[in-house]
Structure 1
Amino acid sequence: MTKPFFSTKNLCSDHFGLLLQKCMKAKTLQPGRQVHAMLVTTGTEINTVSLNSKLVGVYASCGDVRSARLVLAKTGNPNVFALNWMISASAFHGFCEEAVGMSRERLVPDLVTWNAMISGFAQSHRAVEAMKLFQDMLVAGIRPNHVTVTGLLPVCGLMGSIRRGKEIQCLIYRMGFDANVFVASALIDMYSKCGSVKDAKNVFDQIPAKNVASWNAMIGCYGKHSMVDSSIQLFERMQEEGIWANQVTLISVLSACSHGGLVEKGELGGGLTLKVPDFIFSDSLGSQKNGRKERKILKRREIEIIA
């Protein structure tokens, strides 16, 4: 039996509420379940909207949609906090219709709710429904934020619609989100998926303070379109500017080489240095067999892995 991580002695409902808030913030499911169990075993009143809402928040934030749903069903009149958590978790984990139905039946959706539903449909590869939700959001008078557009850009990529993507980009510029490096990186990825390397490069060049995510997005774009030389040159430029590669970078570079047939043929140019820990290199390769093969080729071509 798992030992409780705290003592219930002298704890009242307010204390339990604070503990649930901490579990929710840290997204720790097991301690949250322990608090729930102790609420029951100690006889502490849990049929309150406040405590039940926090319990919904704990389970929803940890991805346990079933438990969150059960607690919500026992709450006579759940507050907006609990409903938003339930809608967000349902959408994020693929229960899209349930999320939309709940939002329409039980509350007036706010920005957080709309963003969760849009992202949920996007992650479920249901692009048309995600775009329709965005239109409904605008009709409802809700002003989008950077989270909204970051969730919408993959939708444009799924649809392969540059026109939609450019419409979202215009919205991004109008609302001043273009300075957000994560929004810009999502734009690069969208244009890459839509087949426009030129538009992706234009976005990349306009980012004032590039981070590893933006470099990775552009390196990945070149790789996706078999522009191996451009991918490796950009990677080298990234390192020259002092940006350390991460696992995503390495995967992007190896993928670019693979798309161009260079890894299989052993034709990678010499002198390329990957400034990443060796364990990241190992984790980036698909299997031990492929790892041995690619490591042998990289060593032969003087590509150095710095541990």
Structure 2
Amino acid sequence: MGVFEGMRRKDVVTWNVMINSFIEHERYGNGLQLFEHLVSNEMNVDDTTVLIATKAIKYFKDLNKAKQVYEFTVKKGMKMSPSLLNSLGDMFFKCGDVESALLIFKQVKMKSLQVMTWNIMIDGYAENGRYEEAWKIFQKLCNEKVQFDETTWVCVTKVIVGMNNLESARNLYKQILQSGIEITSILANSLMIMFSKCGDVETSKLIFKHLKVKNVIVYSTMIDCLAENKSYQEALQIFEHMKNNNIPFNDITLVCVTKAIIGLNDMEKARD
């Protein structure tokens, strides 16, 4: 910060680096204040500056500031690059304004939208509880044989959890396997949660079993899935396996284990 303040000339790149540094260190308020300082003093700002500022607004979920930033981009006549379009749309979704997000995306012909944009739309609908609309978009993309990436599949698992539809969960898993995409720990984690929430913890267990590389997140999720489905003893057995094999665990793991212990105690009390 001292080096930055000592610089006599600060161009837009310098400002962007400084704002981004605040955001990366989770000092969102400072980053947003610096952006607002640039705007109020009519200093040089480009689309990268706006893109960085949207990260802070998404963190605060401040709809008023979201609208101000969008109005600023329109006033400045900024070109809507795919990255800026995605950031602004995602910003409105995160702030709970679905209609404004859709208006931004409607500025581009639907056929030219990238898979990243579709992912934001599916996830945005899901985050705002509009699962059926998210599902319709996914089905439309399937019919058009759009090439999905891992993020798409992860987003759609959230949609299915919201719909609580086991049949859709099984069809999605089949579709993923047929696509040939690698089942990474990230995707496996989402699938395990999806099946567990839809009442099929057995499939969650199979996904966990077949995953070659398991990290602490996957282990924690499996313990939580079992605890949520009242398989408390199995949940604790996995934790014992972690300890016996020196597999690291974290605070989230312990929270999940605690849930299993409480559930097991309650079950034993009910039997008594």
Q: How does 1:284-303 map to 2 (within 5 A)?
A: none
Partner of 1:177: helix, strand, or coil? coil
Matched residue type, 1:201: K
Is residue 222 from structure 1 mapped to residue 220 from structure 2 by the alignment?
no
Q: Paired residue for 1:240?
A: 244
| Shift in alpha-carbon separation, 1:124–1:13, aligned structure 2, 3 A | closer
Cα distance, 1:68 vs structure 2:
4.0
1:130-155, Cα deviation, whole Å (9 max, x unpaired)? 21222234456542111111111122
| Shift in alpha-carbon separation, 1:140–1:28, aligned structure 2, 3 A | farther
Partner of 1:78: helix, strand, or coil? coil
Contact 1:158 1:193 in 2 (8 A): no
Rounded to whole Å, the distance in 1 between the matches of 2:266 and 2:249 is 21
Cα distance, 1:231 vs structure 2:
1.1
Q: Which moved more, 1:246-255 or 1:171-180?
A: 171-180
- Return the structure number with greater relative CO, CA threshold 8 A, min gap 6: 2
Per the normalisation by structure 1, the TM-score is: 0.73
Q: How does 1:54-73 map to 2 (within 5 A)?
A: 54-62=48-56, 63=58, 64-73=62-71
Of Structure 1 and Structure 2, the greater helix share is in: 2
Per the normalisation by structure 2, the TM-score is: 0.82
Q: CA RMSD in A?
A: 3.0
For the pair shown, the structure with the greater C-alpha radius of gyration is: 1
List runs of 5+ in structure 1 lacking aligned partners. 268-307
Contact 2:20 2:31 in 1 (8 A): no
Rounded to whole Å, the distance in 2 between the matches of 1:159 and 1:123 is 12
Is residue 182 from structure 1 mapped to residue 189 from structure 2 by the alignment?
no
When the two structures are aligned, how many residues end up with a matched partner? 260
Matched residue type, 2:196: S
Q: How does 1:1-307 map to 2 (within 5 A)?
A: 6-7=5-6, 9-20=8-19, 22-23=21-22, 28-39=27-38, 44-46=43-45, 51=46, 53-62=47-56, 63=58, 64-75=62-73, 76-80=77-81, 81-106=83-108, 108-139=112-143, 142-262=146-266, 265=269
1:102-129, Cα deviation, whole Å (9 max, x unpaired)? 2113464322222122122222232212
Identity %: 24
Rounded to whole Å, the distance in 2 between the matches of 1:94 and 1:220 is 29
1:177-234, Cα deviation, whole Å (9 max, x unpaired)? 3430111111111111111121111111111111112111221121112111111111
Matched residue type, 2:180: G
List runs of 5+ in structure 2 lacking aligned partners. none
